[in-house]
Chains A and B, each alone.
Chain A
């Protein structure tokens, strides 16, 4: 079990609303990545934060945004929710920027958009 925690565990929202998901990275890790995992699919990279700056983004629209705080915890914000945003959102932390270092995943937040 990793030291990466996410909150909340589950969330139900309606279309058009906004949501904030939170991630606490493993101790000593300064890099956080967010992934979206739709039902029956593999995770897809949303973006990565390194020392409070965005360090790369996947193919997601601007209504997906994030923050990283000085303690390296992170938030994922999604505006104007759509039905297709229903998914498991995974946070992963690592101690080195880039993909060479192992990314440790949290348990995820299950978002349902009605």
Chain B
């Protein structure tokens, strides 16, 4: 069965500093990988996705993620964080021929001024 682990429950970062959120997945074949962001009281917004090809994926809002098959990881990064990036971030994996996304537990990001 597929699973996703986000080891960091909370991360606090200063505005302007870099951010990296960790995601490890378990899946037997090539996964479809996603990062979503959820602001308080909101639904989920897709930041980026990986299906195949270049392992470094660019997303919206200046985010990028790198797929590393050997480490079963799909970490999310941003070079310089803005106060508006404070939110909860979810990594998810989908089956190639399946129908569901399996989400990690999320990482809450707090941004200090």
Binding site for B on A (CB under 8 A): 2, 4, 33, 35, 40-45, 48, 50, 55-56, 58, 90, 92, 97-100, 102-108
Contacts and interface: CB of A to CB of B under 8 A. Distances in A.
Nearest to B101: A99
Contacts of B96: 98-100
Contacts, number: 72
A99 B100 contact: yes
Secondary structure of the A contact surface, majority rule: loop
A33 B101 CA distance: 10
Size category of the binding interface on chain B: 20 to 34
Contacts of B42: 107-108
Interface in B67-113: 90, 92, 94-106
Contacts of B46: 102-104
Nearest to B95: A99
Contacts of B51: 100
Given A99-B32, A99-B95, A106 B43 contact: yes
Contact of A44 (B43, B45, B103): B103
A42 B99 contact: no
